[in-house]
């Protein structure tokens, strides 16, 4: 557990806010760019863009997206690996909980049921895709925030600084201390834009959650391309950002990971040039050799 200021222990990281834009791909680029522009109408904060190398939905202009992300890196934003296809294609079991998780909750939990060797293959394919563009990457965020045991095993064989699930921010590898992951409780503020009841309820739930997390070291605001289609959600996100910035410093996720490790006053810019390269997985995986990307 990480102490916070006024907790009675040693002073820990100052309160932080991480804002991320999910599902970044050529097909979603226009909406993602509009989300970023709306946020910067409030404040010019560093953002974390969650990029999907081979997004399952086609369309869009890859060249324009890549130029936009180059500009984002140049201004101090972060790019994180967000799965590889963002689509759950593994066979499904008969259990009710699995049917709910992989059906009702999300059809896009790519890493929820993959064996370790396939999860490692997809992560490596994503890293190779980033490397081909000269983009640094320090974090991995699974689609729908879902990872099964195989994915966790695979992820720990790579040199990422962090991952996030819906409820927690996880430091990874030796940087977390004693080779195990340390976590910070930080359920994400997120909107359910795909249905009317979700659009009505999720802003209220986000307000309640932000209040409940007021004394926590991190609050995460997670935006998705469909959010930009609904002015009420966009206005709420802007108001939430303005309110949280009154008491918190905006950081990229990589910046927050570094803050946890150093326990120093945070910078509000995370320079991409400071990131170090990811090593390849060395996990001994059973079964057939991994397929090409």
- 283 is a domain residue: no
Q: Which of 50-59, 130-139, 244-253 has the lowest mean pLDDT?
A: 50-59
| Token couple for 28 | 């979603």
- The enclosing domain of 57 has a CATH number of 3.20.20.370
- 279 is a domain residue: no
Give CA–CA dist 116/122, Å, rounded.
10
What does the DSSP 8-state code read for residue 79?
Answer: E
- 67 is a domain residue: yes
Mean pLDDT of the chain: 83
| Structural contact between residues 4 and 13, judged by C-beta atoms closer than 8 angstroms | yes
- 278 is a domain residue: no
Using a 10 angstrom Cβ sphere, with 0-12 exposed, 13-18 middle and 19 or more buried, the burial of residue 14 is: middle
Range of the domain at 255: 16-268
Give CA–CA dist 32/24, Å, rounded.
7
- The answer to whether residue 283 scores a pLDDT higher than 50 is no
Is the torsion defined by CA of 242, 246, 252, 253 positive or negative? negative
Give CA–CA dist 205/67, Å, rounded.
36
- 289 is a domain residue: no
Domain tally for the chain? 1
- For residue range 105-116, what is the model confidence (pLDDT) as tens digits? 556 668 888 999
Q: Give the DSSP H or E segment for 256.
A: helix 253-262
- 286 is a domain residue: no
What pTM was estimated for this model as a whole?
A: 0.83
pLDDT of amino acid 113: 81
- 45 is a domain residue: yes
What is the pLDDT averaged over residues 156-163? 95
- 293 is a domain residue: no
Q: How confident is the model at residue 248 (pLDDT cuts 50, 70, 90)?
A: very high
Closest CA to 184 of 110, 261, 274, 247: 261
End-to-end CA distance of the chain: 38
What is the pLDDT averaged over residues 181-187? 86
| Structural contact between residues 109 and 140, judged by C-beta atoms closer than 8 angstroms | no
pLDDT of amino acid 263: 58
């Amino acid at each position: 557990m990480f102490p916070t200021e006024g907790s009675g222990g040693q002073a820990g990281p100052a309160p932080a806010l991480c804002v991320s834009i999910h599902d970044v791909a050529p097909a979603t680029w226009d909406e993602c760019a509009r989300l970023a522009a709306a946020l910067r109408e409030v404040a010019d904060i560093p953002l974390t863009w969650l990029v999907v190398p081979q997004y399952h939905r086609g369309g869009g202009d890859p060249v324009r997206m890549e130029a936009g992300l180059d500009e984002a890196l140049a201004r101090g934003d972060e790019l994180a690996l967000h799965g590889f296809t963002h689509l759950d294609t593994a066979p499904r079991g008969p259990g009710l909980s699995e049917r709910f998780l992989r059906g009702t909750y999300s059809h896009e939990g790519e890493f929820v049921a993959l064996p370790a060797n396939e999860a490692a293959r997809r992560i490596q394919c994503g890293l190779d895709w980033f490397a081909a563009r000269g983009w640094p990457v320090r974090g991995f965020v699974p689609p729908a925030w879902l990872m099964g045991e195989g994915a966790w095993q695979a992820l720990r064989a790579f040199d990422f600084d962090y991952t996030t699930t819906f409820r927690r921010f996880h430091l990874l590898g030796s940087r977390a201390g004693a080779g195990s992951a340390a976590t910070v409780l930080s359920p994400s503020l997120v909107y359910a834009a795909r249905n009317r009841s979700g659009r009505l309820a999720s802003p209220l739930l986000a307000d309640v959650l932000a209040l409940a997390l007021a004394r926590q070291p991190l609050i995460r605001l997670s935006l998705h391309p469909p959010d930009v289609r609904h002015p009420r959600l966009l206005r709420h996100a802007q108001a939430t950002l303005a309110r949280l910035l009154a008491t918190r410093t905006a950081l990229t996720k990589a910046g927050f990971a570094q803050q946890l490790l150093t326990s120093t006053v945070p910078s509000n810019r995370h320079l991409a040039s400071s990131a170090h390269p990811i090593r390849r997985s060395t996990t001994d995986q059973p079964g057939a050799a991994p397929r090409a990307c």
